[in-house]
Structure 1
Amino acid sequence: MSVLVETPDRYGAYPRLSDAQIETLTARGERRRTQTDEVLIREGDAGYDFFVILAGKVANYEAHGTRDERLISVHGPRRFLGELSLFTGQTAFFTSVVAEPGDVLDVSADQMREAAVQDPGLGDLILRAYLIRRSILIGLGAGIRIIGSRFSPDIRRLREFAARNRLPYRWIDLENDRQAEELLRQLGVEPGRTPVVICPGGQVLRNPSNADLARVVGLPTPHMAEATCDLAIVGSGPAGLAAAVYGASEGLVTIALDAVATGGQAGTSSKIENYLGFPAGISGGELAERAVLQAEKFGASFNIPAEAKSLETREDGHVIRFADGSELTARAVLVATGARYRRLPVLNLEKYEKTNVYYAATTAEALMCRNDPVAVVGGGNSAGQATLFLSRYATQIRLIIRHEDLDRDMSRYLVDRILRLPNVEILRQAEVRELLGRDTLEGILVEDKQTGEHRIISARALFVFIGAEPCTGWLAGKIALDGHGFVLTGRDNGRGGSEGSALLETSQPGVFAAGDVRYGSIKRVASAVGEGAMAVRFVWEYLHKAGRAEMARTR
């Protein structure tokens, strides 16, 4: 039997606890002996305990006990087990097995969280390690296995849902991966009946909805029928997440909801480099994860996916109805649904939009077009960040802008980096006229606006970042919107407001708006966070004036 070597610690993923930190945890846990091959955490289980290894070794495996078994990491004394799912309540994405007998400290998840609050240094150490471990799992393609064709819209939907929610997954390509056919044969599934999702623990889902997948992996999906809260936040981008943190910390019963994932448009950014306090930059996904954990620490609840369909005001509060037929009653509502990138008005967009046209540039999208030529349309920071990120995966990138000067709408630090990339060509004064290809996108017809000349460029994927449309269709006729659908607030809301809570309040008293969805907002992460925090102050003022503040405080 081979001796398992302990995995080196990199970037703080596998730190060792100090004597003082172990002592803090010992007061809340139980020390016990372990035996070889004992399973401490089983893949697919939810609500597992926090383990500190005191003596011996523990190995983490994916698909333990099957022919697909893969060793992920090995840990020895003073290290702790688990990853981000212990904080979030998701299922375990690997199995932890005792490789060498010894002793462990067994602490319940609740007791671990209390210890982390009591000792901020310990809490920061565990959280940082868990965030990095989640990133490692995503990079390894551990966790969920999604089997299907690259040409399937449902495959793209499932992959995007997993990526946006930072769920570790591996896509097994029906066309190019030999393992796909064998797996489908074992499952008794015909290729034409894909996609198939194999979840941690072995549960098989056939073309599940996003809600079904969320439920199985443990994403927060509380049932909302007849539920009531103080503050309902619709949309969980930076503005919504900030409001969730401040609302819950101020004692409001707070529920945040989103149709797809936390993070909003910012969550699709591979790296945000101009947000205060993160000099090395931070991905939108990690920023969202940190914010969710922070909000949950104060008692906020999240519901994903939950697509709002309508808003109605009654005497007892504001009622939000959802696509699944459930509804939520709230004393105050914050609209933070943000905006989505506009669609290109070009020929054949519908033909390729579900398979080859993207409105985000994360690892999920990048892997879909690895070693392919791609095109990026847009001249703002989102297009610049996407170009930088995709340059590490695509063979060639054409950045298409309608004007001459890349500096006009893009931050200088992005422009300087893009100009140094050898695999990026900038097409200035250009517009996309048509998408070309047979079954999949193969090229793009581009027109030079100055000369009228047409050119076909090779592209297997098109990334579009050309301005935003607010996500306010569910609010039509309920609150005042401008001609483009953005929410009118403050002096613009039609009620003559000027100061105080009217600043972010809509035409409907008790309904507020923050972030990109609001008319006149500054499209930056920092300003959205600021508006989300401000909104909670205005919510309190509204509840006080409406005679509901005492009710909120005593819940």
Structure 2
Amino acid sequence: MKETPDLYGAYPRLDEVQLAELRSLGERRTTSSGEVLQQAGESPDEFIVVLDGAVAMVQDLAQQERVVAVHGPNRFLGEVGMLTGQALFLTAVAQEPGEVLAVPLDQLKDLVPRDPRLADLILRAFLIRRSLQLTLGAGFAIIGSRFSSETRRLREFAARNRLPHHWIDLETDAEAERMLRELGIERDETPVVIWRGEVLRNPDNERLAAAVGLRRTTPVQSVCDLIVVGAGPAGLAAAVYGASEGLATVVLDSVATGGQAGTSSRIENYLGFPAGISGAELADLAEIQARRFGAELTVPATAVALGERDGHHLVVLEDEARISGRAVLIASGVRYRKLDVPGLDAVTSASVYYAATELEANLCRRDPVVIVGGGNSAGQAAVFLAQHAATVLLVVRSNELGQDMSQYLADRIERNDGIQVQPHSEVREVHGDRALEEVVVEDSKTGERHVEPAKALFVFIGGLPHVRWLGDQILLDDRGFVLTGNQLAGERQLLETSRPGVFAVGDVRSGSVKRVAAAVGDGALAVRMVHEHLGQHR
């Protein structure tokens, strides 16, 4: 079978120096034709290099199998899930007799600080392969209607966690009904997830995560040093710095790593990435880094209460698990603010979005879209969607585009012929039967209204702090954000809340700067303060 070309650096070939280094860590094995080297749905404990022969990466589509890639000599198997403890989404099958080198994953991880060049090569290939799998729809299948809120929940959860999958739409896919009949599934039982021959009927996020190997049982049984609630940039930074400095660190998030930044198509003003970096890739890199230092990340894991037990802080989870810690870091961020206009509820499931990723772009390809908002999130969405949509209308409440948006984004939007900007305006109504058809935009200066065609509405109008889980344990400002430091009476550390030993970072903190770099700085600084707190109370 012909070897797959090295697409975008996804299938690099190891040189002799790199092979020699890996040979010193692993063992050589002969392989036979048809032998399964890695099984989809399992978490491998070995890094495999092909020395001789060919190995195919196969996707199981239930009805048939599809070869996604073929590795020849000096290429290696695997993708980014191997570094984060996820299950594999493709099966590796030897196509002919050959030989492979099997290196224990623990040995490979120990190699990282000794050979950064090899580590960078493997990591880059793993990240690109995951992106290719997402594009190809390799992984599990979701069957459901585009008008179903439950279908959308599953698709968004899979997209936010960068889980390879493909969606079969009951409304447009001619094969969907036939597949349901063959599987013995009634239409009212959808959405369903099909993975490795198993049918999950409308699973909740936790069940889906467990089925595909994303979520593991909350590991902490004793008291840890630091509990981080929220895995956005601030929480991930705290995880990296906390774990690397010897703190037993646990990170929890109810949806996915990356937070709101994880939904950004391209962050171009983050230090050290002159070509920009997607929020998803930044989140993947940060997660791998945190895990390498020993931080334990559990997703999804929803915190529902903050309490106290035996003199320690206690975080209670939705599944009734309880985690005790000597310090807690509130990094739970904000939830998207919803647009309140007539007609929105009827079209929300099919046409209203609060993120602009490849998932949303594919849904509105070659359609007219409307974006509401004047900040960086709205600007990044406009630039990204202009590459996919027929037209993009950006509705901005302020008088000037650059008033709340970074200047580089404002300049780029003004130069883009595919983006029309409507300043000092607001969306007043939306029209459509189940799916969006048009929006009514009002000029706030003249009061004039006009109707714009739209198949999708993207809303970026700020966020509300996610603090309900805190109850009355922490003092908040009049907008619901967490008060810290000199905003409170008495002597406290800069990021410390009204409860000693509990700190707040990122967007959830009152007065925070809503930028990724600022959130990362918060997370790093908070760890220094955690050390000081633990030192005083040890």
Map of 1:283 onto structure 2: 278
Cα 1:355–1:493 change in 2 (3 A) is farther
Task: Tell me the CA shift for residue 225 of structure 1.
Answer: 7.7
**Offset of residue 362 of structure 1:** 0.9
After TM superposition, the structure 1 = structure 2 runs for residues 76-115 of structure 1, keeping only pairs within 5 Å, are 76-115=72-111
CA distance in 1, matches of 2:490, 2:64: 63
Q: How does 1:267-278 map to 2 (within 5 A)?
A: 267-278=262-273
2:223 is paired with a residue of what secondary structure?
strand
User: 1:530 corresponds to which letter in structure 2?
Assistant: G
Q: Contact (CA 8 Å) 2:206, 2:215: kept in 1 or not?
A: no
* Matching of residues 242-253 of structure 1 within 5 Å: 242-253=237-248
Q: Does the 8 Å CA contact 2:346/2:433 hold for their aligned counterparts? A: no
Matched length = 538
**Counterpart residue number, 1:217:** 212
The residue type equivalent to 2:521 in the other structure is G
- Of residues 53-62 and 10-19 in structure 1, the stretch that sits farther from structure 2 once superposed is 10-19
Contact 2:54/2:95, CA 8 A, preserved across alignment: yes
Give the drift of 1:416: 2.2
Asked whether 1:481 is paired with 2:481, we answer: no
SS in 2 for 1:503: coil
Cα offset for 1:30?
1.3
Q: Distance in 1 between matches of 2:70 and 2:179?
A: 28
Match of 1:542 among 525, 533, 537: 533
Unaligned runs of 5+ in 1: 548-555
Secondary structure in 2 matching 1:17:
coil
Contact 2:343-2:432 within 8 A present in 1 as well: no
Larger displacement relative to structure 2 (144-153 or 95-104)? 95-104
Offset, 1:187? 1.1
Distance, in Å, in 2 between the alignment partners of 1:407 and 1:280 is 22
Q: Deviations over 1:47-68 (max 9, x none)?
A: 252211111111111117x653
Which whole-Å CA distance do the structure 2 matches of 1:420 and 1:190 have between them? 50
Question: How far apart are residue 141 of structure 1 and its match?
Answer: 1.0
Q: CA separation in 2, counterparts of 1:177 and 1:197? A: 16
Task: Please say if residues 224 and 326 of structure 1, whose CA atoms lie closer than 8 Å, have aligned partners that are also in contact.
Answer: no
- The counterpart of 1:16, out of the listed 13, 16, 22, is 13
TM-score (norm 2): 0.97
Q: Which amino acid aligns with 1:300?
A: A
AA of the residue aligned to 1:115: L
Q: What is the SS of the residue equivalent to 1:435?
A: strand
Partner of 2:384: 389
Q: Shift of the alpha carbon at 1:293?
A: 0.6
Q: CA deviation at 1:226?
A: 5.3
**Is contact 1:495–1:507 with CA below 8 Å preserved after alignment?**
no
Rounded to whole Å, the distance in 1 between the matches of 2:378 and 2:535 is 44
Secondary structure (helix, strand or coil) at the match of 1:360 reads coil
Deviation of 1:264 (Å): 0.5
Residue aligned with 2:53, SS: strand
Q: In the TM superposition, what is the alpha-carbon distance from 1:428 to its structure 2 partner?
A: 1.6
For residues 125-204 of structure 1, what are the structure 2 equivalents within 5 Å?
A: 125-199=121-195, 201-204=196-199
Q: Compared with structure 1, are the counterparts of its residues 191 and 299 closer, same or farther at alpha carbon in structure 2 (3 Å cutoff)?
A: same
- Among 456, 463, 471, the alignment partner of 1:461 is 456
Structure 2 distance, partners of 1:38, 1:475, is 52
Query: Which 4+ stretches in 1 moved above 4 angstroms?
Result: 224-227
Contact 1:376 1:465 survives alignment (8 Å): yes
Which residue among 69, 72, 76 is the counterpart of 1:73?
Answer: 69
Structure 2 unaligned segments of length 5 or more: list them.
none
- Distance between the aligned counterparts of 2:261 and 2:509, measured in 1? 16
Q: Return the letter of the residue paired with 1:535.
A: A
Pairing partner for 1:230 from 225, 236, 246: 225
Give the drift of 1:470: 1.1
Question: 1:160 is aligned with what amino acid?
Answer: E
Superposition deviation, residue 20 in structure 1:
2.1
Indicate the residue corresponding to 2:25 in structure 1: 28
* Contact 1:391/1:397 (<8 A) preserved: yes
Q: How far apart are the structure 2 equivalents of 1:40 and 1:186?
A: 31
Q: SS where residue 11 of structure 1 aligns?
A: helix
Question: 1:238-272: per-residue Cα shift (whole Å, max 9, x none)?
Answer: 00000000111111110000010000010010110
For residue 488 of structure 1, give the secondary structure of its aligned residue in structure 2. coil
What is the aligned partner in structure 2 of residue 265 from structure 1? 260
Counterpart of 1:177, as a letter, is D
Correspondence for 2:117:
121
Q: Which amino acid aligns with 1:417?
A: R
Percent of aligned pairs with the same amino acid: 56
Q: Secondary structure at the match of 2:329?
A: strand
In structure 1, how many angstroms separate the alpha carbons of the residues matched to 2:395 and 2:413?
A: 13
Q: Are residues 1:505 and 2:505 paired? A: no
1:227–1:327 CA contact under 8 A, matched in 2: no
Mapped partners of 1:278, 1:77: distance in 2 = 33
Distance 2:116 2:257 in 1: 25
Q: Please identify, of 238-247 and 315-324, the stretch whose mean Cα deviation from structure 2 is larger.
A: 315-324
- 1:343 is paired with a residue whose SS is coil
Amino acid at match of 2:130: R
Partner of 1:450: 445
2 CA distance for matches of 1:106 and 1:452? 69
- Give the TM-score, by structure 1 length: 0.94
Equivalent position of 2:302 in the other structure = 307
The letter of the residue matching 1:60 is: M
Classify the secondary structure of the residue corresponding to 1:271: coil
* Contact preservation (8 Å) 1:24, 1:115: no
Deviations 1:450-481 (A, max 9, x none): 12122121112211111221111222421111
* Secondary structure of residue in 1 paired with 2:420: strand
Whether contact under 8 Å (1:234, 1:337) holds in the other structure is yes
In the other structure, the counterpart of 1:550 is none
Give the letter aligned to residue 9 of structure 2. G
Take 2:74 and 2:220, find their aligned partners in 1: how far apart are those partners?
45
Q: Residue 380 of structure 1 aligns to which amino acid in structure 2?
A: G
Structure 1 residue 364 corresponds to structure 2 residue 375: no
Say which is worse superposed, 37-46 or 225-234, in terms of deviation. Answer: 225-234
